[in-house]
Amino acid sequence: MKMHNNILIVINIFILLFFISVECFGVEYADYVLVKKSKHKIYLLKSGKILKSFHIALGGNPKGAKQKQGDEKTPEGIYFLDYKNERSRYYKSIHISYPNTSDVKRAKKMGVSPGGDIMIHGQKKGWGWLSFISQKFDWTKGCIAVSNKDMDVIWKMVKVGTPIEIRP
């Protein structure tokens, strides 16, 4: 009986240490974000290993790279997540550094504005309860939308300055 109690004490100590280490060291941060538009997925990676993945909704015209303001396309290329906004019109948002230099040059050649305000965000404020429907089709103006629950995880795991690659 004494041996059994000692084993239980050791197990409880390990459990306690586990929870203390999670609390002290916090969340594992992603060092890279990858979006595969054709799969409707966003991946949070660290050292090339996928930590988490989530289903996404894209711009209403998702095929091809964003060319100009108003085309409802999600950009393609390598950017950075350059700031977070808790007071967004949507449930939290993380800004993508679109347009980059080549996007601006391309748009200038075409004589159009490249657009901007491309974000990863949750659902429109007050409409989060409908994500089980809205996440089944592409509805944004070029942003990357996730459920509010998924946005909470992304928000915690991604720091400002993290690179994001958006592939077709």
| Catalytic, out of 4, 40, 95, 143 | 143
Please say if 121 is a catalytic residue.
yes
Give a yes or no: residue 15 inside a domain.
Answer: no
Quick one: which of 149, 133, 134 has its CA closest to 54?
Answer: 149
- 85, part of any domain: yes
Percentage of the chain beyond pLDDT 70 is 83
pLDDT for 86-106, tens place per residue?
999 999 999 999 999 999 999
The answer to whether residue 1 is domain-embedded is no
Say which amino acid occupies 121.
Answer: H
Write out the DSSP string of 146-164: --HHHHHHHHHH--TT-EE
Rg of the chain on CA atoms, in Å: 20
The per-residue pLDDT for 24 is 46
149 falls within a domain: yes
Q: Which has more confidence, 23 or 108? A: 108
Q: Report the 3 state secondary structure along 103-120.
A: HHHHHHHHCCCCCCCCEE
pLDDT class for 133, splitting at 50, 70, 90?
A: confident
Q: What is the mean pLDDT of residues 106-131?
A: 88
Counted residue by residue, the chain has a size of 168
Number of domains in the chain: 1
* DSSP E strand stretches across the chain: 32-36, 41-46, 49-55, 77-85, 93-96, 119-121, 144-145, 163-167
CATH number for the domain that contains residue 49? 2.40.440.10
**Contact call for residues 146 and 42 (beta carbons, < 8 A):** yes
In a domain, 120, yes or no: yes
Residue 59 forms part of a structural domain: yes
Average pLDDT over residues 51-75: 95
Residue 91's CB is within 10 A of a number of other CB atoms, namely 23
Instruction: Please check whether residue 128 lies inside any domain of the structure.
Output: yes
Look at residue 39 and tell me if it is in a domain.
Answer: yes
pTM for the full predicted model: 0.81
Domain that residue 79 falls in: 28-167
Distance CA 166, CA 42 (A): 9
